[in-house]
Amino acid sequence: MSCDDVTILAIESSCDETAAAVVVNGREVRSSVISSQISLHTLYGGVVPEIASRKHIEKINQVIEQALDEADMTLDDIDAIGVTCGPGLVGALLVGVAEAKAISYAKKIPLVGVHHIKGHICANYIENKELTPPFLCLVVSGGHTHLVRVSDYTGYEVLGRTRDDAAGEAFDKVARAIGLGYPGGPKIERVAAEGNPHAVEFPRAKLSDSPYDFSFSGLKSAVLNYLNSCQMKGIPVVQADIAASFQKAVIDVLIGHAKQAMDEFGMERFAIAGGVAANATLREEMRAACLEKGVAFYHPSPVFCTDNAAMIGVAAYYDYCSGKRDGLDLNAVPGLRL
């Protein structure tokens, strides 16, 4: 695709990071500023939507100014504004969308609403310059678990999605149950490194009617039941073993689905994306699975796995080049489907 000299200002505020970035021609990140609210939400053991929205309002102008400064640009250099319009927390999304619309109106800059999951997938284009569609992508984050066939830069087909908890959500809930706190993913990963992944055989859900769908709520319940039974029997709980065994169960399911899709669709490339894709054990096991199947493996750096605006700028570029434009009636859609 050729669409030259397009500079995008991107804004992301769907959950607990307020972020802005400047991206040139879809692949070149000139700046990426992320203001994380994690320490604030840690106090409550998870994201508090009302607090997230208020914090986004406080930070949004600051991150945009910083992103423009670091890129050595002003709004006059910007060709389009890309903003996450869903899915996510409605109050949080509205802050970014309202900000993007205000800039678009005041400076007469075209506006492009971006799907958050497309952004996560597009994060793979930032550092993997040779990556082009078609490819398969596993998106694993706090709110989503999707196996997607990426047919071209704007074409996405969902092969499977979670029926209940997302993979990252399961990490967060299990972390809370074993006393690790929020955010669960990185904490479980750290503790799991000291544990035995075969200590407890937790279930791996397989849905017979839909081979690419996921379910993690049974696994989460199995961990809670195991903790209860240990407590009742007076058996000491080894936190590291539970963390390692839980992490292994999640990864086994993700790898199983990925391998089946590689066999069925015969694609040459496989990518992972989303916060859970920052997990080093998942990355190593997915790399080995791809090697076994003769498929090239791609992943973003951890900073582009978790929420950021650079990935939104990449997705906005491809949407913009395909002619997508949104008006000032653009709204936040918390349950936006892919």
Q: Which residues in this chain contact ligand KG4 in the complex, by CB under 6 A?
A: 15, 141-143, 168-169, 171-172, 183-186, 189, 274-276, 278-279, 306-307
- Position 307 contacts Zn ion (CB under 5 A): yes
Distance separating alpha carbons of residues 89 and 155, to the nearest angstrom: 25
Separation of alpha carbons 199 and 169, rounded Å = 22
**Both tokens assigned to 326:** 């949104």
Q: Which of the stretches 44-52, 91-99, 189-197, 304-312 binds Zn ion when contact is defined by CB under 5 A?
A: 304-312
Query: In angstroms, what is the minimal distance from the CB of 168 to ligand KG4?
Result: 3
Q: Give the residue among 330, 268, 321 at the shortest CA–CA distance from 293.
A: 268
First to last CA, the chain: 22
DSSP 214: B
Report the distance separating Cα 302 and Cα 279, nearest Å: 8
In whole angstroms, the minimum distance from the beta carbon of 161 to ligand KG4 comes to 14
Q: Which is nearer to Zn ion, 111 or 305 (CB)?
A: 305
Cα separation, 80 vs 93, in Å, equals: 19
- Does 17 participate in binding Zn ion (rule CB under 5 A)? no
CA distance 298 to 286: 10
Which C-beta is closer to ligand KG4: that of 250 or that of 267? 250
Give CA–CA dist 103/61, Å, rounded. 11
User: What sign for the dihedral angle of Cα 63, 67, 69, 73?
Assistant: negative
**Which CB, 110 or 186, lies closer to ligand KG4?**
186
Contact 203, 221 (CB under 8 A): no
Task: Quote the distance between the C-alpha of residue 50 and its chain's center.
Answer: 21
Provide the CB-side half-sphere exposure for 253 (13 A, CA). 30
* Numbers of helices and strands, H then E, in the chain: 12, 10
Residue 153 vs 304, nearer CB to Zn ion: 304
**Nearest distance in Å: CB 304, ligand KG4:** 10
Task: CB nearer to ligand KG4: give 183 or 313.
Answer: 183
- Look up residue 83 and give its two tokens: 């903003």
174 binding partner (options ligand KG4, Zn ion, none; Cβ < 5 to 8 Å by kind): none
**13 touches Zn ion (CB under 5 A):** no
Q: Binding of Zn ion at residue 37 (CB under 5 A)?
A: no
The residue (of 52 and 103) whose beta carbon lies closer to ligand KG4 is: 52
For ligand KG4, give the closer residue by CB, 159 or 254.
Answer: 254
From the list 138, 124, 152, 111, the residue with the least C-alpha distance to 27 is: 124
Give which of Zn ion, ligand KG4, none residue 119 binds (C-beta under 5 to 8 Å, depending on kind): none
**Residue 141 near Zn ion by CB under 5 A:** yes
**Cβ closest to ligand KG4, residue 175 vs residue 289:** 175
Neighbours of 285 (CB within 10 A): 17
Residue 306 interaction partner, one of ligand KG4, Zn ion, none, beta carbon < 5-8 Å per kind: ligand KG4
Instruction: Please choose which of Zn ion, ligand KG4, none residue 168 contacts, taking the beta carbon within 5 to 8 angstroms, the exact cut-off set by kind.
Output: ligand KG4
Binding region for Zn ion (CB under 5 A) out of 141-149, 194-202, 257-265, 324-332: 141-149
Q: How far is the CB of 73 from Zn ion (least distance, A)?
A: 26
- Applying CB under 5 A, the residues found at the interface with Zn ion are 141, 307
